[in-house]
Structure formats: structure tokens, C-alpha cells
């Protein structure tokens, strides 16, 4: 586990648990070792903080590539922090540029790391669960690792879209992990990826109880980042 990530686990993690007291279910589904993809619904920027707080192993999140290439003291500090956290850079341009993030994630997964992906491609604008994009399944097949469905409940209340930081004591947080989905060796043609992605989204919905919307979530003003991949 990267040093800065370890420091965060020992400092930010306990503070988050004390302030929000999240309920966690299904930790037994997280493997003790080996690579895996966490694929979850996405309600708030705080989703990543809570996942990092409750998962005992290192999680590799995506971050905008600009944070790795900035200049001056601020740019160097940003690169130092994100590199120290083990983040994966992703291009905001989307399309082929964004797919480079998958190329970076494959060796991380094969090396035994855990990677977080939000298949909806963006945060839900209204609390419903939207159609998943196929990138998470494509990545799982390419890397030969399982997908662990994740259900986040209540994070949109503690940090709504537009809020700068999570607000303690504003709602109950529940985080549920489902049984791993093993798509190893499954075909990766477009139809198969769509069917497997729908299966994965069905497992996420079982964890959250959200209303399902069979269409893609409306895009935000800028291309998705930090695991919010629009590939597929």
C-alpha cells in the first residue's frame, strides 16, 4: 500500500468513521489478495472517501491527467500526492484518450491491486440508477479479475452535488458489497459486453434498491473523471 495512502487510512479513515459512522455489509466478499474491480453506483464525490475508509486494502482511483502534469509548486505537489496515493491518470477528453486509463489499470489489476469504476459514467442527477457503460466489464475480462458490485446509500445527503465537503450528522451512510462476478473467459464482443454489463447493474440495484433507468445518465458539463468512465 502506498505510503500516503497508508497515512490517510490512519488519519482520515478514523475521522470519517467517527463523523459518519457508516454501516458496512458484505466485507467478506472483498478478497484478501489479488486484483479486482469495484463497480458501484455513484451518488456523490464522497463515495470515494467512504470506499477508501471501509475497504482494508489499497484502492486505485482515477484522477484527471492535469493533476499529474501541472507546473509550479502547486502542480508538483499535486503530482506528488496523487502518485503517492497510487492514482491512475485519465484524460478528460474522453473517447480514445480516456481508454488509456484502462491500459494503465490492467497492469495494476494483474499486479493484485483493486480499481474502482463507476459504470454509470457520472454521478446520478436524481438518485436513480442509470444504464451502465460496458467499460468495467471490458476491463475485467482483459485483466482476468472479478467485479465486486458496490452499493452506496445515503452519500448524496451528506455531500450533495455542488457541496465542497461532506457534512457530518446529515444522514445515514450504508455501504454494501455483493458477491464477486467472475466474467473470466467470457466473450468481449459488443452484444456480450452489453449483456454482462446489464447483469452487473442488476446486482448493484439489488444492493441499493434504487429505481433503474434503462438509459444513460445525462452528462455533466465536463467529461467524466475519477473512475467515471464513458468508455463503452
**pLDDT, tens digit (0-9, with 9 covering 90-100), for 115-150:** 999 999 889 999 999 999 998 999 999 999 999 999
End-to-end Cα spacing for the chain: 30
CB 55 within 8 A of CB 152: no
Can you tell me the mean pLDDT for 177-186?
96
Residues 6+ apart with CB under 8 A from 153: 172, 173, 174, 175, 176, 208, 209
CB 156 within 8 A of CB 126: no
**C-alpha grid cell, residue 165:** 465537503
Query: What is the predicted pLDDT for the residue at 179?
Result: 98
Coil, helix or strand at residue 71: coil
pTM equals: 0.87
**C-alpha grid cell, residue 196:** 454482462
- Is the per-residue pLDDT at 93 higher than 70? no
State which CATH number among 3.30.70.1110, 3.40.50.300, 3.40.1130.10, 3.30.930.10 fits the domain covering 3-213.
3.40.1130.10
Mean pLDDT (the chain, rounded)? 88
Helix locations, 111-187, DSSP H: 135-143, 155-158
The strand pair at 36-40 and 114-117 is best described as parallel
- Is the per-residue pLDDT at 31 higher than 50? yes
Compute the distance between CA of residue 181 and CA of residue 198 in angstroms, rounded to an integer: 12
Amino acid at each position: 500500500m502506498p505510503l500516503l495512502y497508508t497515512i490517510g487510512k490512519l488519519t482520515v479513515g478514523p475521522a470519517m468513521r467517527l463523523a459518519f459512522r457508516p454501516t458496512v455489509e458484505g466485507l467478506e466478499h472483498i478478497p484478501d489478495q489479488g486484483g479486482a474491480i469495484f463497480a458501484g453506483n455513484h451518488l456523490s464525490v464522497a463515495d470515494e472517501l467512504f470506499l477508501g475508509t471501509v475497504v482494508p486494502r489499497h484502492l486505485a482511483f482515477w484522477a484527471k491527467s492535469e493533476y499529474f502534469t501541472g507546473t509550479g509548486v502547486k502542480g508538483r505537489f499535486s503530482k506528488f500526492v496523487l502518485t503517492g496515493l497510487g492514482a491512475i491518470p485519465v484524460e478528460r477528453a474522453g473517447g480514445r484518450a480516456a481508454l488509456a486509463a484502462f491500459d494503465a489499470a490492467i497492469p495494476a489489476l494483474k499486479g493484485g491491486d483493486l480499481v474502482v469504476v463507476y459504470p454509470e459514467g457520472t454521478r446520478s442527477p436524481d438518485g436513480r440508477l442509470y444504464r451502465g457503460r460496458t467499460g468495467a466489464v471490458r476491463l475485467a475480462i482483459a485483466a482476468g479479475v472479478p467485479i465486486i458490485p458496490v452499493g452506496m446509500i445515503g452519500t448524496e445527503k451528506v455531500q450533495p452535488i455542488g457541496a465542497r465537503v461532506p457534512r457530518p450528522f446529515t444522514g445515514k451512510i450504508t455501504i454494501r458489497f455483493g458477491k464477486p462476478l467472475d466474467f473470466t473467459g467470457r466473450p468481449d464482443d459488443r452484444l456480450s459486453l452489453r449483456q454482462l454489463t446489464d447483469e452487473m447493474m442488476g446486482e448493484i440495484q439489488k444492493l441499493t434498491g434504487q429505481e433503474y433507468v434503462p438509459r444513460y445518465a445525462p452528462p455533466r458539463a465536463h467529461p467524466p473523471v475519477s473512475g467515471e468512465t464513458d468508455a463503452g
